[in-house]
Structure 1
Amino acid sequence: MLVRNFELPGALSSMRSLEDRFNKDYNYDWTFLNDVPFTEEFMEATTAMASGKTQYGLIPSSDWDRPNWINETLFNIRLQLMEEKKVLYGGSKSYRNMCRFNSGYFFRQELLERYDYYFRVEPDVQYHCDFPYDPFRVMREGKKKYGFVIAVHEYEDTIPTLWDTVEDYIDVKGEEDQIDMDRNAYNFLTDISVMGSIMPVIDANSDYNLCHFWSNFEIGDLNFFRSDRYLSFFEYLDSKGGFYYERWGDAPVHTIGASLLLDRDEIIHFDEIAYTHAPFMTCPMSYFMRLDQRCQCDYRSDRNVDIKYHSCLMRWWKNGAGKSFLKPI
């Protein structure tokens, strides 16, 4: 969990939800990261809430703060323009640090060196159903590298040149980084076809359809992010300055990186895990599943995004690893 001291109530709420629905049966460790030291109150309260061990890391300035090669004049001009356009978090400097950190540095933290997998948890989220399995075991035994629960569209105003940069990366580094267009999920990123009765809701200015895995929930293989291929991808993007001159989010960066570099069957949609991060929710449509997993969520809610017009999940079913409509025995 990347979290600030003042977010303690939200951190405890998320922990309580995940402990009750999953971790009380497994006692996995909790790792907390912050760019300032954690308070004693924060550490005591979160340690008391956790069923497993807890550890607390201070992010080095070199991994968090704006690098000195960023042109400060251009940065401040772009930041002001995005703020005037009321782009979401467009005027926030710290949000940009967070997005760049989550895109290229979280997996390099010393406290995570002994782990192979991570489960990202945000403050103020909820898990609505008992987990029917250990997702880490599912990842390991199924040879999965990245897992998600929600897929939606990104705000194009935050990433106006990201796809141009990605296309340049493919041209320059694609062969060296072994991008396999026959096996990856590139089509998930570019498909703009009609899905049932749903027309594309985004008229993008590039071939990118703006679909991304909502990275506030993700379970991933740390060794994928540590790989030379992913580091090459991140460093190429980072060199263009878009995390600061624009407001590139870690969600589209993780999504594009995973979709290009992984076999599409190495990406898993955890459709049995019910989750809310405002304003969106995912809740199982299956009546049996809701009973079996003791769910407390309304699948009829407008917040249940799975098959709404602004969801990209159906595009993943079509262009990714497909959809299993029956729960495996």
Structure 2
Amino acid sequence: MSSWLPLHHNEFYTRSVRHRVPRVNRTVLWLGLAVTFLFSLHSLLRHLRPEYNLTIRVFRWPTGNESFVEFTDQNAAVSIAPSPTTLSLSAPIPSATVSEYDQGTNGTRRANAAIIMLVRNSELGNALSSVKQLEERFNKRFGYPWVFLNEVPFTNEFKEKMSAAISGPVSFGLIPKEHWYQPDWIDEEKAAAGRAEMVANDVVYGGSVSYRNMCRFNSGFFYRHPLVQQYKWYWRVEPGVSFFCDTDYDPFLYMEENDKVYGFTISLYEWPQTVATLWDAVKEFVNENPHYLDPDNALAFLSDDDGGSYNMCHFWSNFEIANMELWRGEAYSKFFEHLESKGGFYYERWGDAPVHSIGAALFARKDQIHFFDDIGYQHPPFRHCPHLPSVRKAKNCSCSSVGNFDYNRDSCLNLWRQVEMS
């Protein structure tokens, strides 16, 4: 028997009709008063608070953890297809569907944020490894929601096993086709020739269309997904990554309280062959829209000759803690539209790492970009471990300075530090 059901007590009142009638009348009276009060309150809120018309309903499956969200509003229609993993968007959803701050599982204030993973069903094992590590090292203290996105519906096995590994809210979303697949206007013959050339030159993922789909999606679409639009902040996590240190504070609140918009752990050089014409497109956009540049930008991190050429440095975007309003803002939105029109995501292999890095470096102040030195992280083959032994000890890190990519000649961290201090 469910614990919330009342126990059955012996009845001590008289069972004559004369005694039972008043009891029934009092029950009806109180029920009527309660209904009247709720109806009046509902009507009052509808008139005084327009946003009250927007409702959120969370559906839970038998495992008790995973969920998907249905939004209902006269001006924002999102429908739920028969499969719980399918969401179709027919109009934008207001971003302020949750309060600016919530309360975390540790009783502290919590930001409007989510942990996001783009993952395939076949990556379940590696995804579980990443999730369990971040839950243990960070999220068990704060209970931030997880959002999993896929270009195909998630299997029941994926949802059940992932939900069992997470104590907090979990959502599974299907990516709209127009946000994932190669657009029809792309010249496939030209794109295929570009892929073949990269394969001949042994460029990693040079022949992969799905990799290009992923780069384009992460560059300009993930923050538009219906399950993501309600959030302001995100922590990007990928399958098969490792977290070596305890994060006993809230990095989202740290970013917000210190006016940061983009956080990273690893920076390195991009393959020049994959972005052969990217900087030309960037310069074209900047020349046409100089007003979008922040006066205190970090151009010096991207270019050694005051913008004449691209030095290939970028923040490795498989780890990002960032404010999605940066991507949703007018400057980056126009910037992405410009890049999209060039077709470079498919004619070459423009990655979301250089695209995000260029956007953050040009459209934000350089002091709004933060290096998370105290978060030990590895995305094979590169690893970051906190530099100071005292930090590694305090954070209970399982890594050491040996093998730290920050000391590698291919790391751009020293350049970033120079730019940051300039």
Work out whether the TM-score is over 0.5. Answer: yes
- Between the aligned partners of 2:349 and 2:421, the Cα distance in structure 1 is 29
- Paired amino acid for 1:279: P
Which stretches of structure 1, 4 residues or longer, exceed 2 Å deviation after superposition?
Answer: none
**2:141–2:248: 8 Å Cα contact kept in structure 1?**
no
- Between the aligned partners of 2:281 and 2:394, the Cα distance in structure 1 is 46
Corresponding residue for residue 214 of structure 1: 316
Q: Among residues 138, 162, 187, which one is paired with 2:300 in the alignment? A: 187
Is residue 2:274 matched to residue 1:161? no
Corresponding residue for residue 310 of structure 1: 410
Corresponding residue for residue 201 of structure 1: none
Size of the aligned set, in residue pairs, is 305
Partner of 1:55, secondary structure, is: strand
- Between the aligned partners of 2:151 and 2:265, the Cα distance in structure 1 is 28
- Between the aligned partners of 1:33 and 1:321, the Cα distance in structure 2 is 38
- Between the aligned partners of 1:144 and 1:285, the Cα distance in structure 2 is 22
Corresponding residue for residue 236 of structure 1: 338
- Between the aligned partners of 2:194 and 2:277, the Cα distance in structure 1 is 13
- Between the aligned partners of 2:421 and 2:227, the Cα distance in structure 1 is 32
Corresponding residue for residue 17 of structure 2: none
Per-residue displacement from partner, 1:172-203 (whole Å, max 9, x unpaired)? 1222xx213x40000111138xxxxxxxxxxx
Q: Which runs of 5+ in 1 are unaligned?
A: 193-205, 323-329
For residues 248-327 of structure 1, the aligned pairs below 5 Å read 248-301=350-403, 304-320=404-420
Corresponding residue for residue 78 of structure 1: 194
- Paired amino acid for 2:334: S
Per-residue displacement from partner, 1:202-228 (whole Å, max 9, x unpaired)? xxxx72110000000001101111111
Asked which structure has the greater RCO (Cα within 8 Å, sep 6+), the reply is 1
- Paired amino acid for 1:30: W
Per-residue displacement from partner, 1:75-122 (whole Å, max 9, x unpaired)? 111111111211110100000000000000000000011111000000
**1:128–1:274: 8 Å Cα contact kept in structure 2?**
yes
- Between the aligned partners of 1:138 and 1:81, the Cα distance in structure 2 is 45
- Paired amino acid for 1:8: L
Largest Rg, 1 or 2: 2
- Paired amino acid for 1:229: A
Corresponding residue for residue 111 of structure 2: none
**1:191–1:315: 8 Å Cα contact kept in structure 2?**
no
- Between the aligned partners of 2:321 and 2:391, the Cα distance in structure 1 is 21
Partner of 1:83, secondary structure, is: helix
- Between the aligned partners of 1:149 and 1:298, the Cα distance in structure 2 is 15
TM-score by length of 1: 0.90
Identical aligned pairs, as a percentage? 50
- Between the aligned partners of 1:46 and 1:320, the Cα distance in structure 2 is 39
- Between the aligned partners of 2:363 and 2:310, the Cα distance in structure 1 is 16
Partner of 1:260, secondary structure, is: helix
Q: Which has the higher strand share?
A: 2
Partner of 1:33, secondary structure, is: strand
Is residue 2:242 matched to residue 1:126? yes
Per-residue displacement from partner, 1:236-288 (whole Å, max 9, x unpaired)? 01110000000000000000010000011111111111100000001112111
Once the two structures are TM-superposed, the CA of residue 40 in structure 1 deviates from its matched residue by 0.3
Corresponding residue for residue 60 of structure 2: none
Partner of 2:359, secondary structure, is: helix
Once the two structures are TM-superposed, the CA of residue 298 in structure 1 deviates from its matched residue by 2.1
Once the two structures are TM-superposed, the CA of residue 321 in structure 1 deviates from its matched residue by 5.7
- Between the aligned partners of 1:254 and 1:147, the Cα distance in structure 2 is 11
